[in-house]
């Protein structure tokens, strides 16, 4: 059977699919800029402010698997458009929320609606682009849209907040969703599973509960260290996850088809992606803190520094499909990951002074440039390995793994950096116990404490804290580099073999077409 190539209709449809992807990535960054003005207007408590920030991401992660399955059952375009309409309505509610409580509700609704958008767009790409080369290119465009949103989000948000109230950052969503609702039915085809039974509500409850509990537990450990409550929440999530998996294996029509893991290239690509996704968020977090608190850049200047790594990632996304035509995807990914490990090793040379700016800039740029081919080719293999009728579930699983990986990486490597900082922090003589305790907790606390001390005492405290933080960054980043090297080895072995099998399947399909 011949592989049908996509035409102009599919490529124009891809441009429509990039819209919700761009919007979701903008929405994850733009709220941080609005926090000061909405705090002044709504007067949220500290706990309410945390939920305003976090509940959106929690519920996106929790509902991804469910929404991906609903798209497979009832139609990817239908679920995408329903989600777009809900996203627009929740954005209006958030923009004009008169209280912190209602804003939390609106952000929760945005999270549930957002969970419909990502797997729907990816599964539609899987069904619109059957040719492997075209599909890889389409995924690189999709990834570029998501990354572009992360870059322009702060710029767009800052521009809006200079002229309008904080609600404007939510109103930005509405016209984009309206465009999707108008053009979607005209340009996007509908795909759904031919026959399926009713949704297993027990599986929905188990999957949502397991994901929410695990991510919440991991984030609490990353932010405040391992506590009894956080560990119990994490353990409860893991237990529910095990129960969910066992239930899926016994269902004739499961929410998540566990047979996907029996496909070698699906399993290999998901494994390598998971290892690399552990690293990205912690590189951004530690580098951002370092640039502001050690190098001394303002938040805006630190944001400008991130433009170079983002541009490098976009270049990597664009080059990946072209290079994949000449090189095995596994070997290409492995080579890129070795470049990424080299970038991390540069960051590992920081010494706690303002001269480290170029090490951070070069290290981040090489890391994101090197990791970008894997992100395109790995996601392509994950989605392409699934049968078309399960593409929504495969896309949702890929997105869920990214949410888990990012949270887990922050918890593990962030905890390592904090532990090394605290062990290596030597309090200078003459600093009182209360000030020393505040400085010993975090670098931010140390810099604030140093500012309150006179002359040489403050300078000595700040220097000691910066040196200790640099030590924590070095240990954490070197450990991260070793993980990336392990991912490169896995890509060179398992992913190379899996990519070779996929090319052989395409070659056999072409022979059958000619015959």
User: 266 or 501: whose pLDDT is higher?
Assistant: 266
Say if residue 342 is exposed, middle or buried (CB neighbours under 10 Å; 0-12, 13-18, 19+). Answer: middle
* Residue 85 pLDDT level (bands cut at 50, 70, 90): very high
Contacts of 124 (CB under 8 A, 6+ apart): 13, 17, 76, 77, 80, 188, 189, 191
pTM (2 d.p.) = 0.82
> Of the segments 141-145, 380-384, 481-485, which one has the largest average pLDDT value?
481-485
Q: Residues of the chain with pLDDT > 90: what percent? A: 22
> What pLDDT shows up at residue 1?
43
Tell me the longest C-alpha to C-alpha distance in the chain. 86
222 vs 71: which has the higher pLDDT: 71
Query: Does 2 score more than 60 pLDDT?
Result: no
Provide mean pLDDT across the span 333-353: 91
Task: Give me the mean pLDDT over the 26-49 stretch.
Answer: 75
Distance CA 29, CA 27 (A): 6
pLDDT tens figures, 217-226: 887 887 777 7
| pLDDT band for position 265 (cuts 50, 70, 90) | confident
Categorize the per-residue pLDDT at 501 as very low, low, confident or very high, splitting at 50, 70 and 90.
Answer: low
Report the alpha-carbon angle 255-256-260, nearest 5. Answer: 150
Q: What is the pLDDT of residue 502?
A: 57
Confidence of residue 513 (pLDDT cuts 50, 70, 90): very low
Q: What pLDDT score was predicted for residue 26?
A: 76
Angstrom CA distances, 416 to 190, 211, 234, 285, stand at: 47, 24, 19, 13
Q: Percent of the chain at pLDDT above 70?
A: 92
Least confident of 70-74, 268-272, 431-435, 456-460: 431-435
Mean pLDDT along residues 122-140 = 86
State residue 429's pLDDT score.
73
Whether the Cβ atoms of residue 222 and residue 409 lie closer than 8 Å to each other: no
Average pLDDT over residues 16-31: 79
Considering only CA atoms, which of 412, 409, 438 is closest in space to residue 425?
438
More confident call, 373 vs 215: 373
pLDDT class for 515, splitting at 50, 70, 90? very low
Flag whether pLDDT at 469 surpasses 50: yes
Report pLDDT for 235.
Answer: 94
pLDDT at 254: 84
149 vs 481 pLDDT, higher one? 481
The residues, any chain, with a CB within 8 Å of residue 92's CB and separated by 6 or more, are 170, 171, 174
Q: Which tokens in the block code for residue 47?
A: 């706990």
CA distance 473 to 233: 28
Q: Is the pLDDT of residue 367 over 90?
A: yes
Tokens representing 174 are 């509405």
**Looking at residues 76-92, what average pLDDT do you find?**
92
> Bigger pLDDT: 28 or 43?
43
Please provide the average confidence, as pLDDT, over all residues in the chain. Answer: 83
């Amino acid at each position: 059977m011949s592989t049908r190539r996509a035409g102009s209709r599919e490529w124009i449809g891809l441009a429509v699919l990039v819209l919700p992807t761009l919007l979701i990535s903008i929405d994850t960054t733009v709220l941080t800029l609005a926090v000061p003005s909405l705090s002044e207007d709504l007067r949220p408590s500290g706990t309410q402010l945390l939920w305003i920030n976090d509940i959106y991401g929690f519920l996106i992660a929790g509902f991804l698997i469910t929404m991906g399955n609903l798209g497979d059952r009832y139609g990817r375009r239908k679920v995408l458009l329903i989600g777009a309409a809900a996203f627009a309505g929740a954005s209006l509610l958030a923009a004009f929320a008169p209280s912190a409580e209602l804003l939390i509700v609106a952000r929760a609704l945005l999270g549930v609606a957002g969970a419909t958008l990502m797997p729907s767009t990816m599964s539609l790409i899987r069904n619109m682009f059957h040719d492997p080369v075209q599909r890889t290119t389409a995924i690189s465009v999709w990834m570029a849209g998501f990354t572009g949103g992360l870059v322009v989000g702060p710029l767009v948000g800052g521009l809006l907040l200079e002229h309008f109230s904080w609600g404007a950052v939510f109103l930005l969503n509405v016209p984009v969703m309206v465009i999707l609702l108008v053009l979607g039915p005209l340009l996007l085809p509908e795909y759904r599973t031919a026959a399926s039974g009713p949704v297993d509500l027990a599986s929905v409850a188990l999957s949502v509960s397991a994901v929410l509990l695990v991510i919440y537990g991991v984030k609490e450990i990353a932010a405040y260290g391992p506590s009894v409550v956080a560990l119990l929440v994490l353990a409860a999530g893991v237990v529910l996850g095990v129960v969910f998996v066992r239930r899926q294996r016994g269902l004739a029509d499961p929410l998540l088809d566990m047979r996907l893991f029996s496909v070698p290239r699906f399993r290999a690509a998901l494994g390598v992606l998971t290892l690399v996704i552990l690293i990205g968020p912690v590189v951004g977090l530690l580098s951002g803190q370092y640039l502001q608190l050690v190098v001394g850049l303002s938040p805006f200047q630190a944001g400008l520094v991130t433009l170079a790594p983002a541009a490098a990632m976009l270049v990597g996304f664009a080059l990946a499909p072209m290079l994949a035509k000449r090189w095995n995807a596994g070997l290409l990914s492995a080579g890129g990951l070795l470049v990424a490990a080299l970038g991390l090793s540069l960051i590992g040379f920081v010494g706690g002074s303002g001269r480290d700016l170029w090490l951070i800039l070069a290290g981040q740029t090489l890391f994101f440039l090197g990791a970008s081919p894997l992100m395109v080719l790995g996601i392509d293999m994950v989605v392409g390995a699934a049968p078309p009728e399960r593409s929504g579930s495969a896309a949702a699983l890929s997105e869920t793994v990214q949410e888990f990986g990012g949270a887990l990486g922050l918890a593990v490597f962030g905890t390592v950096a904090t532990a090394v900082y605290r062990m290596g922090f030597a309090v200078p003589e003459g600093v009182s116990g209360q000030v020393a305790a505040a400085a010993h907790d975090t670098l931010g606390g140390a810099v604030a404490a140093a500012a309150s001390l006179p002359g040489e005492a403050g300078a000595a405290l700040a220097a000691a804290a910066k040196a200790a933080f640099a030590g924590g960054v070095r240990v954490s980043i070197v450990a991260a580099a070793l993980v990336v090297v392990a991912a490169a080895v896995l890509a060179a072995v398992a992913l190379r073999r899996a990519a070779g099998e996929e090319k052989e399947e395409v070659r056999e399909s072409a022979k059958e077409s000619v015959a």
